Structure 1
Amino acid sequence: MPRPHPAEVIAEWFGVDADFERVPADPPTAYRRDVWLGLALTVLAVGGMELTRSAGYLAQSDDSPAWLLYVLAGAGALPLVVRRRYPLTVLAVVYAHFLLVGLTVPVVPLSQVLQVVYFMTLYTAVAWARDRRAMLIVVAVCLAAMFGWLFWQVAVSTGMQQYAESEGLLDDPPGFLSPLDAMIAQTWLTNIAYFLGAIALGQVTWHAARRRAQLAEQAATIERQAEELGRRAVVTERLRIARELHDVVAHHVSVIGIQAAAARRLLAKDPGSAAVPLSTIEAASRDAVEQMRGLVGTLRDIGDDGGTAGGGDRSPEPGIADIERLAGADGGLEVTYALVAEPAGAEEAVSGPMGLSLFRTAQEALANVRKHSTARAASVTVRVDRRPAADDARFRGGYAEVEVIDDGRARPGSSGSGLGLVGIRERVATHHGVAEIGPRVTGGYRVRVRLPLPLEES
């Protein structure tokens, strides 16, 4: 693999081709803070200039009036009030101020407060510029101007020479370099560290902001994908429920047809005996209507992209009586089964769709225990109670319930997608029941589903 060109490395590090634009998380608040910061630095710059003048640090030849020094110092810091709103413009204005004032009134740019301002301005331009190519151009021009000004200052200034002569350093140099050369080199190193440090710090914070934005975008994408998977799981489960309910309703319609034919024959020969098939027709039709209402309610919210339901065999769907055989299924899990009916034989009142939902709930719960739990034992309890519940109007006709309890903990690294539990809740919603799914206080996990039974006819 060929090594990238240095220009490509620099462009990549500065994000020249990046599609990321850094903006404050709360622009109004951030811009207000910039205003207060700029005003504070302006006051400090003016105050610092007065302290410099009062301390006698100004050159004897500098006879500029005090008000001019205050104005020039404040003008150098005031642009920071919009530093993050217009970072490159502020950089150009502040550094132009540095050059123009430095050539006319050199004492002003040497103020310590303005040195902080220049550093902050360069840092802000690199860290917050939205156009990275323009940032490189503006920063490069400013650096060229600054170092050109520095070269000119060193070339024409005699201050260092005078200092070395006054200290007697030229007669007996203390180091390998002459004092004048050492002072010049130190000045250059200080400025290089100053400017490059501001650029490096600004670019590091820009990269950190881009990484945070990428992570936030990835998290949002994962959340959207999870929602889409959950929605598709709901749709798939609803279609499967619809197919199962269709089979049961079709069974009732067939029963109605057979019983109607029998009643028609009996009406001609023995009208009294026709009451039995007619009663069967009445019960089957009511059951079919109730199941069809549940079907329509379940499928009401299905979208257009729900996918297709796969085909399956046409064997009778399992019901409440088939839950017991789930306990005997091998899989390294000891399962105990119990049926509690009040009164005896009340489980016969559980309809086919309701029994199928209870069976699928127990099946999914036991499958989760085997896949995702350290449990070695589990219990499956089916309860059918025809007594009306006084505390819940939904169970005035009694209820049918299945409860699966295990004694284990979640197995590390085996977390599932949670789509099976979504299916359980969808089945419960179809029958207007309640579900309790989660860990137990005493340890283990519980899945309990309670579905309302229809009212008994008087």
Structure 2
Amino acid sequence: MSPVLPAFDPGDPSWRRPPVTAKELRTDAILAAVLFVGALLSLMLYQVAGVYEDPAPMWVSLIWAVLITLPLAWRRRWPNIAAVVVSAAFIGGGELRVPELLICNITLFMALYAVGAWVDNRRTALLVRCGIIAAMLAWLVLAMFRQTTDPDALEGFSRVGMFSPLVAFLMIQILTNLLYFGGAYYFGDRSYASARQQALLEYRTEELERERERTAGQAVALERVRIARELHDVVAHHVSVMGVQAGAARTVLDSDPRAARDALANVELGARTAIDELQKLLHTLRENDQADAASLSASTLGLGAIATLAADSTASGLPTTLEVVGTPTEVTGLVSLSIYRIAQEALTNARKYAGSAATADVRLRYLDGAVEIEVSNTGTVPSKPRAGGLGHIGMRERIDALGGTLELGPRPRGGYLVRARVPLGRPVDSAADADSHGASDAGASDAGASSERPPSDASTPRSTR
């Protein structure tokens, strides 16, 4: 099971440590009990060693042992209270001459450490620790003053000279206490910072995992869209041609059987071609799970096949001319396939919607740093976009992937125009990106039909990216 993560980024200043767990509370309780037993043993040993000539009564020492150790059982749940109680017991034990000098130093260090490690309000943690340290240092100074002013105290240290053995001893006491309290303060802060860093690492790891899952899902969705686009282009084109030829065969079946046979032969040829392309597409998908858009074409279709496409369009009843402008330039397989599919979709739409008397012109232009395909047709334009069409969506997706521009819409002099330009070897500038993305958003409402029509007041083809 994954760890419980904070509800917000641990880098936020309002981050709080996770609540103390039951296991941690049990550990603290066991630790406090062990220290209590250790304090009792230490009391007896120091009592026998005679550390004080007139030590505190045993019942006082027992109460002191409870106050100096057992509050550590709540050092993570209520660290401030535990530290204050332990500190007060420490000073009280010194004033009452409780014969114990080992366990009390350990418990005071742990109590100060817990404040730095577990108090989420860092200002409170600072004030509590500074208050305890100031009280301890003040008590130390008072004790040193009493020792230096008592002729009978510290008899083993000479008081002669500016830097006497007594002064050296007192300075050792001061340095020891500074290191003691400074260590408790520092390590407490480091523990809190370490816990925060660990929480931040877990948070970032979980974020990366969610992002990885999101990216994987998006990759699957994009792959499905790409496959669907290829299937649409293959099926829509060939089925459209087959429909036109079948309709022509039905019309002339009685009056011109030979023409009907030719039309049915074209239907058969179109069906075989469609099946062949679909089989190649499926074979490519089975062979390579990482197939790119060019390989998903399942064929060698590209710029070289546009002439055949124009000829097939003419044979299907839409007289189509092809003009190549400029010197042919080598392009990638993806660019070549995309341009072919755009021309194919444009001619398919023209056959379906322009009318029986329509004609089409295809112009393939090799420009400086770009290649452009333009398909225009005469005839009628649907007054309303067809709901559910995917043709224009597919064209836009292909052009977006290549960083090109797409223009489509009714022509002022009649008919319809599709023009796609793809840059070769250099990115489109940012201004063009911004303009084209805006135009794409504006045209989203009519992107659902394969023969969408721009708003009725449009006099020129729209540009989108």
TM superposition score category, shorter chain reference: 0.5 to 0.7
Q: What residue number does 2:280 align with?
A: 355
Cα deviation for residue 259 of structure 1 reads 4.8
Distance 2:97 2:73 in 1: 24
Which SS does the other structure have where 1:157 is aligned? helix
Q: What residue number does 1:77 align with?
A: 69
Q: What residue number does 1:64 align with?
A: 57
Q: What residue number does 2:173 align with?
A: 187
For residues 284-303 of structure 1, the aligned pairs below 5 Å read none
Distance 2:46 2:143 in 1: 21
For residues 24-103 of structure 1, the aligned pairs below 5 Å read 27-57=21-51, 59-62=52-55, 64-65=57-58, 67-103=59-95
Which of these residues, 170, 194, 213, is aligned with residue 158 of structure 2?
170
Distance 1:352 1:367 in 2: 16
Distance 2:242 2:111 in 1: 86
Structure 1 unmatched runs, 5+: 1-16, 286-346, 369-458
1:206 alignment partner AA: Y
- After TM superposition, the structure 1 stretch with the greater mean CA deviation from structure 2, 151-160 or 353-362, is 353-362
Cα contact 1:88–1:125 (8 A) shared by 2: yes
For residues 240-259 of structure 1, the aligned pairs below 5 Å read 240-259=226-245
2:29 alignment partner AA: V
1:257 alignment partner AA: G
Residue 150 (1) aligns with residue 140 (2)? yes
Distance 1:217 1:179 in 2: 56
1:150 alignment partner AA: L
Cα deviation for residue 91 of structure 1 reads 1.1
Cα contact 1:164–1:179 (8 A) shared by 2: no
- After TM superposition, the structure 1 stretch with the greater mean CA deviation from structure 2, 77-86 or 220-229, is 220-229
Q: What residue number does 2:204 align with?
A: 218
Distance 1:255 1:51 in 2: 105
Distance 2:270 2:274 in 1: 13
Q: What residue number does 2:250 align with?
A: 264
Going from structure 1 to structure 2, the CA distance change for 1:60 and 1:26 (only over 3 Å counts) comes to closer
Residue by residue over 1:385-436, the C-alpha shift from the partner in whole angstroms, topping out at 9 and shown as x without a partner, is xxxxxxxxxxxxxxxxxxxxxxxxxxxxxxxxxxxxxxxxxxxxxxxxxxxx
Distance 2:38 2:229 in 1: 78
Cα deviation for residue 278 of structure 1 reads 8.4
Cα deviation for residue 216 of structure 1 reads 2.4
Which SS does the other structure have where 2:158 is aligned? coil
Residue by residue over 1:363-403, the C-alpha shift from the partner in whole angstroms, topping out at 9 and shown as x without a partner, is 996989xxxxxxxxxxxxxxxxxxxxxxxxxxxxxxxxxxx
Q: What residue number does 2:443 align with?
A: none
Residue 121 (1) aligns with residue 115 (2)? no
Residue by residue over 1:102-126, the C-alpha shift from the partner in whole angstroms, topping out at 9 and shown as x without a partner, is 3334545xx2011101111111111
Distance 2:209 2:56 in 1: 67
1:179 alignment partner AA: P
Cα deviation for residue 182 of structure 1 reads 1.3
Cα contact 2:159–2:165 (8 A) shared by 1: no
Cα deviation for residue 60 of structure 1 reads 2.6
Cα deviation for residue 138 of structure 1 reads 0.6
Going from structure 1 to structure 2, the CA distance change for 1:80 and 1:159 (only over 3 Å counts) comes to farther
Distance 2:172 2:150 in 1: 12
2:210 alignment partner AA: R
Going from structure 1 to structure 2, the CA distance change for 1:351 and 1:81 (only over 3 Å counts) comes to farther
Cα deviation for residue 20 of structure 1 reads 6.1
Larger radius of gyration between Structure 1 and Structure 2: 2
Distance 1:367 1:351 in 2: 20
- After TM superposition, the structure 1 stretch with the greater mean CA deviation from structure 2, 191-200 or 201-210, is 201-210
1:229 alignment partner AA: T
Distance 1:18 1:181 in 2: 49
1:205 alignment partner AA: S
Q: TM-score, normalised by structure 2?
A: 0.52
Going from structure 1 to structure 2, the CA distance change for 1:134 and 1:241 (only over 3 Å counts) comes to same
Cα contact 1:48–1:113 (8 A) shared by 2: yes
RMSD value, Cα: 4.0
Cα deviation for residue 32 of structure 1 reads 1.6
Which SS does the other structure have where 2:13 is aligned? coil
Distance 2:19 2:279 in 1: 52
Cα deviation for residue 35 of structure 1 reads 1.4
Going from structure 1 to structure 2, the CA distance change for 1:165 and 1:47 (only over 3 Å counts) comes to closer
2:139 alignment partner AA: W
Cα deviation for residue 237 of structure 1 reads 2.2
Which SS does the other structure have where 2:17 is aligned? coil
Cα deviation for residue 155 of structure 1 reads 1.1
Cα deviation for residue 275 of structure 1 reads 10
Cα contact 1:94–1:118 (8 A) shared by 2: yes
Cα deviation for residue 187 of structure 1 reads 0.9
Cα deviation for residue 33 of structure 1 reads 1.0
Going from structure 1 to structure 2, the CA distance change for 1:141 and 1:63 (only over 3 Å counts) comes to closer
Which SS does the other structure have where 1:170 is aligned? coil
Distance 1:195 1:144 in 2: 10
Which SS does the other structure have where 2:57 is aligned? coil
Distance 1:365 1:237 in 2: 10
Cα contact 1:170–1:178 (8 A) shared by 2: yes
Cα contact 1:20–1:210 (8 A) shared by 2: no
Distance 2:150 2:195 in 1: 43
Percent of aligned positions with the same letter in both sequences?
Answer: 34
